[in-house]
Amino acid sequence: MENEYRLLAEKLEDSHSQLASRLMAENDCCSNFSEFSFNNTLPFRYLAAALASDEPVPEAEAMFAGFGKEMALSKVPFHVLKDYLYCFKESITLFLEAETTSVKTAMLVVKVTDSAVKSTFTTFRRFQKDSQLANRLRSLYEEERITLKELKDLKNALKEATIFTITDKNDKIRYANEKFSEITKYSSEELAGKNHHSLLYSGCHNDEFYAEIRRAIKNGEIWNGEICNKAKDGSLFWVDTTIIPFMDSEGESYQHISIQHDITDKKKAEESLQKAEKISLIGEMAAGLAHEIRNPLTTIKGFMQILGNFSEDKKTLYSKTVLEEIERINFIVSELMVFSRPHAIPFKDCCLAEIIENASEILASEAEFKGISLTSRVRAPKTVIAGDKNQLTQVFLNLIKNAIESLPLGGNIDLFLTGDHEKARIIVADNGIGMSPVQLERLGEPFFTTKETGNGLGLMVSYKIIETHQGSLLVESEPNKGTRFVITFPV
Ligand code: ADP
Ligand code: MG
């Protein structure tokens, strides 16, 4: 009995290519399948391998799950896969009929085949539920045999699962579901009739990116990719987007539906990972740089001090300038030192309220002079975290200084400290010039500055300090509205 099983498996393996080519030749329904660059003999080989194993059913399920996934990722339409698997099952039945096997063995093979096919569908669905639904919707449209009920069912399925819009050929929104309103923060009334592209344009992609989307739609191709859009409140969000154009009888696309998934969190995680990588690279560089430069600087400084004392008026003036310049380099180097020895300083208990008060006192007169009201509200005065007081002070000095510099005409800077037994949260908010999405993307990059006399190190250093304190930093900003930095530390 078991032998019979394995014997069949061997035969199947031997004749897989023959079976596959016969299947393709004899069945019209499979001709579609050859368009896709997939090895159509694989299912036969999978089945053979499963039959040869000790546990054919789970084996077959696992292997065909892989097959289903691959089909979904190769964007094979659902109906093509369905046809293929139908023919595949038929050819297995024919194969069995030609063999002199016991009924029991034949039944087992059929069972394994059934499980395999089921498993393919399940995985395929999971991996391309949206595309599959959309393809079906489209093929039903094209074949003009859609019933109202079918349309409703499909629409409901899409409505619940995804962010979903229908747009006409001029990219005007004809329908948007609730989830789309949620993510874009526009009501359905606000969305109706608006140009999808202009309304949500974020400035994060270049013109070629959008040109490629338009080209695909025009040619009736399904487009899939990740798009960064802007919501009504100015916040950016990322969506994994599939756009399916619908063609009329003249081959012109008259509308397209777009199915989206919110991947903002995934993108943020990727970004912070990239930032962290960049920073650790800079760290290595900075470590070398800081040590190399600091020693000669000390010498030059001492030398210049003596020179200054003993020379004529002009020389004194020059040396004063030189000293100031060196002081500036020294300052940059000190900033970079944060990267060189992250664990050099032992952490002690630090009272955040004290640190914030201290930082705002240092900058109070500068703020006042510039017509800025700097207020701090401390809701959790006893919050203590493990850290380095000087480094933490440096973070708040940097943030408040940036806030002051964002308010050339005066305004407000608010500092909040809240916390519980797990987390401490500090907000530094200003109603200054704010930042564009493009600027926000570059924040924390070394030497990125928009100021004439800036050095673009403050935020990078602050990111690093916060990171060594196991904290996190979030930024929200809108041009001409202001900026909010939210820092969270574990307590
Ligand atoms: P620098 O202050 O020397 O330019 P930073 O690293 O401190 O360097 O800041 C980098 C850039 O981030 C600034 O040049 C500015 O464009 C932007 N920025 C930082 N904080 C704010 C803020 N509160 N408001 C507006 N822009 C800000
Ligand atoms: Mg700064």
262, 286, 310 - which closes a domain: 262
Decide which of 212, 237, 262 is a domain's last residue: 262
269-272 long-range contacts, CB within 8 A, separation 24+? none
- In tens, the pLDDT along 434-444 reads 999 889 988 88
Task: Please tell me the least confidently modeled range out of 135-149, 150-164, 345-359.
Answer: 135-149
> pLDDT grade, residue 261 (50/70/90)?
confident
Ligand 2 centre distance from Cα of residue 383 (Å):
26
Does 437 contact ligand 1 (Cβ within 6 A)? no
pLDDT at 417: 96
Least distant ligand from the CA of 477? 1
Atom of ligand 1 nearest to the CA of 434: 25
Q: Is residue 250 situated within a structural domain? A: yes
Q: Does 476 share its domain with 383?
A: yes
Cβ–ligand 1 distance for 429 under 6 Å, the answer: no
Q: Is residue 139 part of a domain?
A: no
In a domain, residue 143? The reply is no
Residue 142 lies in a domain: no
Residue 433 in domain: yes
The more confidently predicted of residues 34 and 163 is: 163
Same domain, 277 and 196: no
Query: What is the pLDDT, as a whole number, of residue 125?
Result: 76
* Banded model confidence at residue 279, pLDDT cuts 50, 70, 90: low
Exposed e or buried b per residue across 445-458, where buried means at least 16 C-beta atoms within 10 angstroms of its C-beta: bbebeeeeeeebbb
For residue 341, pLDDT over 60 is answered with: no
- CATH number of the domain that 322 lies in? 1.10.287.130
User: If you average pLDDT over residues 192-198, what whole number do you get?
Assistant: 93
User: DSSP 3-state helix, strand, coil percentages of the chain (rounded to 5)?
Assistant: 60, 20, 20
Residue 431 in contact with ligand 1 by CB distance below 6 A: no
Task: Pick from 123-137, 289-303, 468-482 the range whose average pLDDT is largest.
Answer: 468-482
Co-location of 201 and 224 in the same domain = yes
Task: Quote the pLDDT of residue 277.
Answer: 65
Measure the CA–CA gap between 116 and 47, rounded to whole angstroms.
8
Check residue 294 and give its pLDDT. Answer: 67
What does pTM read for this prediction?
Answer: 0.45
Verify whether ligand 1 is closer than 6 Å to residue 455 (CB atom).
Answer: yes
Q: What confidence tier does 78 reach under pLDDT thresholds 50, 70, 90? A: confident
Question: Is 151 inside a domain boundary?
Answer: no
Ligand 1 atom nearest residue 428's Cα: 23
Ligand 1 within 6 A of 450 CB? yes
CATH number at residue 61: 1.10.490.10
Inform me whether the pLDDT recorded for 144 exceeds 60. no
Decide: 264 in ligand 1 pocket, CB within 6 A. no
Q: Which residue CA neighbors atom 23 of ligand 1 most closely?
A: 403
Instruction: Kindly give the residue spans of alpha helices, DSSP state H, lying in 202-312.
Output: 207-218, 264-310
Q: Which residue has the higher pLDDT, 26 or 381?
A: 381
Per-residue pLDDT, 386: 93
In angstroms, the Cα distances linking 395 to 289, 310, 355 are 22, 40, 10
Q: Are residues 6 and 100 in the same domain?
A: yes
Q: Is the per-residue pLDDT at 131 higher than 70?
A: no
Q: Both 26 and 125 in a single domain?
A: yes
Segment (H or E) for 416: strand 411-419
Q: Which atom of ligand 1 is nearest to the CA of 448?
A: 10
Q: How far is the CA of 266 from the centre of ligand 2 (A)?
A: 29
Band of residue 343 on the pLDDT scale cut at 50, 70, 90 = low
> What CATH number has the domain bearing residue 187?
3.30.450.20
Instruction: Report the CATH number that the domain containing residue 393 is assigned in CATH.
Output: 3.30.565.10
| Residue 340: pLDDT over 90 | no
Residue percentage of the chain with pLDDT more than 90: 31
- The answer on 453 and 357 residing in a single domain is yes
Residues 119 and 6 in one domain: yes
Mean pLDDT (the chain) is: 82
Q: Given a cut of 80, is residue 326 above it in pLDDT?
A: no
CA of 388 to the centre of ligand 1 (A): 23
CA trace torsion 390, 396, 402, 403 (10° rounding):
-160
pLDDT at 314 over 70: no
332 pocket-lining for ligand 1 (C-beta < 6 Å)? no
* 291 Cα: distance to centroid of ligand 2 (angstroms): 23
d(CA 13, CA 47): 8
Q: What is the pLDDT of residue 436?
A: 93
Mean pLDDT of 445-472: 85
**Which is nearest to 391 in space by CA: 477, 474, 489, 475?**
489
Same domain, 257 and 272: no
Q: Do 353 and 475 fall into the same domain?
A: yes
pLDDT of residue 14: 83
Which of residues 243 and 133 earns the better pLDDT score?
A: 243
Q: Which domain holds residue 255?
A: 162-262
Shared domain check, 472 and 397:
yes
Q: How confident is the model at residue 151 (pLDDT cuts 50, 70, 90)?
A: low
Q: Which ligand is nearest to the CA of 414?
A: 1
Same domain, 175 and 243: yes
Find out whether the beta carbon of 439 lies less than 6 Å from any atom of ligand 1: yes
For residue 443, give the ligand 1 atom closest to its CA: 12
Q: Is residue 333 part of a domain?
A: yes
Any ligand 1 atom below 6 A from CB of 372 = no
Q: Could you give the number of structural domains in the chain?
A: 4
Is the CB of 406 within 6 Å of ligand 1? yes
What pLDDT score does 299 carry? Answer: 67
Question: Which pLDDT score, from 0 to 100, does residue 160 have?
Answer: 64
CA of 434 to the centre of ligand 2 (A): 14
Q: What is the pLDDT of residues 346-379, one digit of tens each?
A: 889 999 999 999 999 989 999 999 999 999 999 9
d(CA 242, CA 376): 47
Distance from the alpha carbon of residue 402 to the mean position of ligand 1, in angstroms: 5
Please work out whether the CB of residue 428 comes within 6 Å of at least one atom of ligand 1.
Answer: no
Calculate mean pLDDT across residues 291-302: 66
Report the separation in Å between the CA atom of 446 and the middle of ligand 1, taken as the mean of its atom positions.
11
Ligand nearest the Cα of residue 461 is 1
Q: Is the CB of 456 under 6 A from ligand 1?
A: yes
Asked if residue 177 has its Cβ within 6 Å of ligand 1, the reply is no
Note the pLDDT tens digit of each residue in 205-260. Answer: 989 999 999 999 888 888 888 899 999 999 999 998 888 888 777 778 888 888 88
pLDDT classification of 432: cutoffs 50, 70, 90: very high
- Residue 482 beta carbon below 6 angstroms from any ligand 1 atom: no
- The fraction of the chain above a pLDDT of 70, given in percent, is 79
pLDDT at 15: 81
- Domain shared by 248 and 179, yes or no: yes
Does some domain include residue 92? yes
Cα angle vertex 251, ends 246, 255, to 5°?
A: 25
Which conformational region is residue 193 in: left (phi greater than 0), alpha (psi within -120 to 50 degrees), or beta? left
Facing residues of 387 across strands? 348
Q: Is 331 in the pocket of ligand 1 (CB under 6 A)?
A: no
Last-in-domain residue among 262, 289, 318 = 262
For the cut 80, the answer to whether the pLDDT of residue 146 exceeds it is no
For residue 359, what pLDDT is reported?
Answer: 92
What pLDDT does residue 5 have? 76
How far does the centroid of ligand 2 lie from the alpha carbon of residue 455, in Å?
7
The pLDDT of residue 391 is 87
Measured from the Cα of 457, ligand 1's closest atom is: 6
From 436, 445, 449, mutation site for ligand 1 pocket: most ligand atoms within 8 A of C-beta: 449
- pLDDT band of residue 475 (cuts 50, 70, 90) is very high
**CA 450 to centroid of ligand 1, rounded, Å:** 7
**440 C-alpha to center of ligand 2: Å?**
14
Position 150 confidence tier, pLDDT thresholds 50, 70, 90: low
* pLDDT 10s digits, 33-75: 666 666 778 888 888 888 888 888 888 888 898 888 788 878 7
